[in-house]
Each structure stands twice: as C-alpha cells, then as structure tokens.
Structure 1
Amino acid sequence: MTGVDLRAVRAALHGVLDPELRRPIDELGMLADVTADSGLVTVRVLLTIAGCPLRSTIDADVRAALTGVPGVDAVAVELDVMSPQQRQELRERLRPERGIPFSRPDSLTKVFAVASGKGGVGKSSVTVNLACELASRGLRVGIVDADVHGFSVPALIGATGTPTRVDEMILPPVAHGVKVISIGMFVARNQPVAWRGPMLHRALEQFLADVYFGDLDVLFLDLPPGTGDVAISVSQLLPSAQLLVVTTPQAAAADVAERAGTVSAQTGQTVAGVIENMSGLTLPDGTVMEVFGTGGGQRVADRLSASLGVPVELLGTVPLDVALREGGDAGTPIVLSSPSSPAAVALKAVADRLATQPRGLAGRSLGVTPVG
C-alpha cells in the first residue's frame, strides 16, 4: 500500500492546463505516466517540443496541483518530449479540419474587425483594452494584429512571449488571459516590414488558419487604417466579421472614419458600432478641454446609419486619460491597471455592449435528430 490514491492524483492533475493551449494536459495526451511510491508521486509529462519556453510553468503547476492531495509527501516531475507521431495525433485532436475555423458556418466566435479611417486615433489601444476587459470576465478572447506595417499590439498588451511552433501549427502567446499573434513576434525589434498586397493577404491567412486559438468567444482583429489590402482580405477570409469603427471627435477624423465603415456596403459586412476615442480631457479644476472638438463619433454613427440603411450606434466615448497612455507603455491596459479611471469606465461600458451581443445560432446545426 502506497497510501496515495492515484485516482485522486489524476483528478488533481486534470486541473493542470497547458499554458499555451489552455487545455488540461491529460486531454492533450501530455500526461504520460503517474506512479506513487511511499508518498512520492512521480509525474511524467510530454512537452510538445524540446525547447518548450514554458516548461518551468508546467513543472510548477503540476507540483502546485498535487499540494494537499492526501498521502502525497513529495512530487517528482519528469519532462520528456512528444514523438512525431504523438505531435501528429495532438494536431489532429486540436484541429481535425484544415482552413480558417472562424469562417465556418458552425463557428460561434464573434469576430470584431477594429477599423479606422486614419492612423493616430487610438484604435490599437481600444482593441487591447476591450479584449482584456472581456477576458477578465471569463470570456475566451484572441487578438490578431493585422496591422503588419504598423504593429503595436504586443507592446500595448505586454505580450513578450514567442509563438511556439508545433510542426505546421503555431501556438500564440497569452497576455492577461488574451491569446495574441502579431508579425511583431517574428521580426527583430523595430525591423520594418515592407510587404505588398499578396504578402499581406498571405500573412493574415496564415494567422487565421495556422495559429491555434482554440474555441474563442471573441476574436478581435486590429486592422491598419484605411480601406486597403488588409481590409479587403478580412472581408474575404472572414465575411461574417463585424466592423468596429474608431474615430476621434475631430471633423477631419470623422470624415475618413465614415469611409472605413461605408466599405461594409461593398464587402457585405455589418457595422457593430462606432467608438469615439480622445473625446475630452478633464483638467485639475474639473473643467473639460475638448482638445479634438466634439461630436465626431455621433456624426459618424449618424452618417453610417443613413448611408447603410441600418441603425449604427455610437457605442461609447472614451476621454483622454494619461493613465490610458501609461498603461499602454507599461503593457498593462488601463482596464486592468486603473479600472476606476474615466477612460477605463468608458471602455468597460463599450465592452458591456459587445458582451451582450449573443453568439449567433441562426443557420447552425444543433446536432439533434428526431426520434420515433
């Protein structure tokens, strides 16, 4: 008698998740063996690749999971590596079909393409804050940084990890509970990416098809400004994606933002709403300085409603806030670093609006058949 119930040990280990795949290690075939000898439990775990960057995390999580299990006095963790056959079985288990999972008719993931007419309106900051806020509520969230030439998402969200490649499958780093992929993770710091249309399309296609995000509730795409190659590629690769149009109150920004939303009439996409960023700056005496004017977001929403023939709402106005910039510089978005600040409160209100939009079931098979 060892005094250790191996069933209790395995039950505890079921709670250990692979840090990249976010699935229990026993479901992934990573839990190779568990033995017990007089209170010493030895756990053999198979890593996906030899140079797994999170091997120490897995080791620590296994030890932590077995703390408190009756009869367990010590834990030994042996880390081995999957064979090519085991990796093949893992890929087939995770993704039995090739292609872009978010474009399939049975996909329940809400896809938001965050667009703007011009640069400098804070589109990327809005994207990462909305993603982190929804993730903090328990939703499964991912971000594709589709702005290949002007990528900034990794720095804004503090994603310092490197994607892990398991043969043809790429595992995205996770930051603040959000899975993130960006071309910035594949190039040296500040190295420019000088690609034309076909290369941009292929990069976006690979991010959507080869990166394993798992079953997401929400996927955000941070688009480059304007209505160029990437916006067209998104409409082709993800025709069900909804546009979130970001503008500032300034009239000039509102004019070009309207174009970013009107393109949906040509692509067949819908506009989920408009977000006005940098709406005003509260001074120490309590007065508000309208640095970029007022009303741009509502003007965009009204014009899009008229041109598209469907109601387009202004989802929220986000004030200028020093904490918003500080959070981005530190890689900790303001909804996490300063949740009670005016900008964070406004962003949380926008997240409320997005979270209440249900994952659509129209036209999807429920997998049931009549009896009798």
Structure 2
Amino acid sequence: MVQLHQNVESAKNQNQAKEDQDAQVKGSLQKIKNKFIVMSGKGGVGKTSTSVNLAIALSEKGFKVGLMDVDLHGPDVPRMLGLSGMLDLNPNRKLNPMKYSENLATVSIESLTPNKDDAVIWRGPIKYSAIRQFIADVEWGELDFLIVDSPPGTGDEPLTIAQTMSDAKAIIVTTPQEVSLADVRKSINFCKTVKMDIFGLIENMSGLECPHCGKMIELFGSGGGEKTAADADINFIGRVPFDLNMVTAGDSGTCFQKKYANSPVTLAFGNVAEKMGELV
C-alpha cells in the first residue's frame, strides 16, 4: 500500500512539473511575434550559415531577434557568431541568452557544455525535453523573430518544434544539385504532414563568380531550387551565391555581412530578411 501511495504521489508531481513547464513555454512563445525554423533535407547545404545570416540581417534592420540552435549533436551557431563562454542565470532563475548585439541573442547546447568537444549522445525524449527547456527556461523577452536552426532531416528536433510552436513557419535550404533536392522534397512533405506553413525555399551555393574573369561557375548546377519550389507550389524566396569569404568568416566567427556589405551574398540575405520583415 505504501509503495502504491508513493507511486501515485510521484505521478502527481510529474504531472504538475509538466503543467508548470507547459505554462512557461506558452508564456515565452506569447512574447515572440514570428517563429521560423530553418530546415534542410541533408547536411552540408549551408543551413546553419543561412540561419545565422538571416538572424544578423534581421537584427541589422532593427528587429529584436532570437536565434535558437536545436542542432543538439552538431551545434555550430556560437562559433559562427564568434561567441564563447557559458550561459548565466538571471535573478528570475532563468538562463540569459548569449548576446551577439543589441538586437540579437542566441542559445545553443554548446553554451551549456564546459567541454565543447564532448559528444551529445541523447535519445528522442531527452532531446524533446532539452528543446522545450530552451523555450521555457530562457529569458527571451519580447522578440520580433525567433529563428530556430534545426539539424538536417525530419527527426526529433524539427518534430518537437512543430509540436511546440504551432504557428512556426519553415524556411527550407537546398543546393541546386539533385541529391539535395531529392531530400528537400522530404522536408516539404514533412511540413505538409505536420501542417507547418512553409515560408519559402532558399537555393544556397547557387553559382560562384570566377575571381579571374567574373563569369559565373555553376558548381552544383542551376535552377533546381526554383523548379522544386514551383513544382511543390511554395515560394522561392532567394538564391544565395557561393563565396569563399563566407567560409572564412564562418570559421573565424567574424560577420561576413559587415566585412563584405556590398557582396551578392549580403544583398541576397538582406532581400530575404526584407520579405520576412513584412510580417511585422
């Protein structure tokens, strides 16, 4: 009898803890006007650099932006922003997101692990809990945009976002090559299955301007992203060219858009941010 009573009390406590977290999640999300999840069907298409640069472009336009890194097994957002150190607690016993600028702050599992080279070996339920804590236990405050950088594919992380943020919109990133496009079609079908609106598709690494003659080199083909968007009846919102300086900036944690303000890459991200800004 004693054991049964203890089990009942334990279940009550667990239910109460879940209700408390649900309330905190709802409270945090109510303060955020627009939520976007940046997805890709496969790795290596520049999804994280797209997330980071869209967040920077929006913040440079004066919007308050949060950037949430839910790529729990390969978190790169802090390094690409040139941020280091650990998140700290505020007097409300909530985590303060790490500030990149006056208008942009970010949260990543990398900012919660003392050894940045440690592997995160988690199954689905733990990942679900961690992502909800990124929302409930972080002092995001009032935001115009929350950009969520998701890992490649259609697994636990994007599913958790879809279930937790019913009004989130997807931005899908691809390269022009068919291997990437085949996986992107799975991402499009994922969004349709979970009833998530797709804001649009971005074709990344879309050509490289030859530094010698100025002609465009189609490294991965051309036009595949735009055709896929048309076939799926979703918006094609931008084509971002390949730039070797983008690689260097990401590795060193320097802001590409500030250093190369007039580059086609900066202008492309600015154009997408302009379209997103029309929602506010």
Fold similarity call, TM over 0.5 = yes
Give the structure with the higher percent strand: 1
Residue equivalent to 2:12: none
Structure 2 CA distance for aligned equivalents of residues 195 and 119 of structure 1:
19
Is 1:139 aligned to 2:63, yes or no? yes
Is 1:353 aligned to 2:278, yes or no? no
The residue type equivalent to 1:180 in the other structure is T
Does structure 1 conserve the Cα–Cα contact (< 8 Å) formed by 2:49 and 2:250? yes
Alignment of 1:134-173 (within 5 A): 134-166=58-90, 168-173=93-98
Cα drift, residue 111 of structure 1: 0.4
Is 1:182 aligned to 2:123, yes or no? no
Is 1:194 aligned to 2:121, yes or no? yes
Does structure 1 conserve the Cα–Cα contact (< 8 Å) formed by 2:28 and 2:140? no
Is 1:227 aligned to 2:149, yes or no? no
Does structure 1 conserve the Cα–Cα contact (< 8 Å) formed by 2:174 and 2:181? yes
Does structure 2 conserve the Cα–Cα contact (< 8 Å) formed by 1:145 and 1:183? yes
Residue equivalent to 1:128: 52
Unaligned runs of 5+ in 1: 1-96, 306-311, 359-372
Cα drift, residue 212 of structure 1: 0.5
Residue equivalent to 1:236: 163
Correspondent of 1:329 among 238, 242, 251: 251
Structure 2 CA distance for aligned equivalents of residues 336 and 349 of structure 1:
16
The residue type equivalent to 2:150 in the other structure is L
Structure 1 CA distance for aligned equivalents of residues 246 and 28 of structure 2:
31
The percent of aligned pairs where both chains have the same amino acid is: 35
Does structure 2 conserve the Cα–Cα contact (< 8 Å) formed by 1:173 and 1:179? yes
Cα drift, residue 331 of structure 1: 1.2
Residue equivalent to 1:85: none
Structure 1 CA distance for aligned equivalents of residues 231 and 124 of structure 2:
30
Structure 2 CA distance for aligned equivalents of residues 151 and 296 of structure 1:
28
Residue equivalent to 1:13: none
TM-score using structure 2 length:
0.87
Does structure 2 conserve the Cα–Cα contact (< 8 Å) formed by 1:128 and 1:157? yes
After superposing on structure 2, the runs of 4+ consecutive aligned residues of structure 1 that deviate more than 6 Å are: none
Structure 2 CA distance for aligned equivalents of residues 263 and 290 of structure 1:
29
Structure 1 CA distance for aligned equivalents of residues 256 and 189 of structure 2:
30
TM-score using structure 1 length:
0.66
Q: 1:266 to 1:103 in 2, by over 3 A?
A: farther
Structure 2 CA distance for aligned equivalents of residues 102 and 256 of structure 1:
33
Residue equivalent to 1:264: 191
Instruction: Between the two structures, name the one with larger relative contact order (CA 8 Å, sep ≥ 6).
Output: 2
Q: 1:287 to 1:258 in 2, by over 3 A?
A: same
Say which SS state the counterpart of residue 190 (structure 1) adopts.
coil
Deviations 1:166-214 (A, max 9, x none): 3631111101341100001112122110111011111100001110011
Deviations 1:243-264 (A, max 9, x none): 0000001111011112112211
Greater Cα shift, 214-223 or 188-197: 188-197
Structure 2 CA distance for aligned equivalents of residues 102 and 271 of structure 1:
23
Alignment of 1:354-369 (within 5 A): 354-358=276-280
The residue type equivalent to 2:42 in the other structure is K
Structure 2 CA distance for aligned equivalents of residues 157 and 139 of structure 1:
18
Cα drift, residue 102 of structure 1: 5.0
Cα drift, residue 98 of structure 1: 2.5
Alignment of 1:1-372 (within 5 A): 98-104=24-30, 107-166=31-90, 168-177=93-102, 178-187=104-113, 188-283=115-210, 284-305=212-233, 312-358=234-280
The residue type equivalent to 1:129 in the other structure is N
The residue type equivalent to 1:99 in the other structure is V
Residue equivalent to 1:82: none
Say which SS state the counterpart of residue 170 (structure 1) adopts.
coil
Q: 1:101 to 1:333 in 2, by over 3 A?
A: farther
**Alpha-carbon RMSD:** 1.4
Does structure 2 conserve the Cα–Cα contact (< 8 Å) formed by 1:262 and 1:304? no
Say which SS state the counterpart of residue 315 (structure 1) adopts.
strand
Aligned residues: 254
Q: 1:240 to 1:281 in 2, by over 3 A?
A: same
Unaligned runs of 5+ in 2: 1-22
Does structure 1 conserve the Cα–Cα contact (< 8 Å) formed by 2:28 and 2:141? no
Give the structure with the higher percent helix: 2
The residue type equivalent to 2:124 in the other structure is G
Cα drift, residue 332 of structure 1: 2.2
Deviations 1:101-156 (A, max 9, x none): 3544xx55100100000000000001111101111111100000010011100001
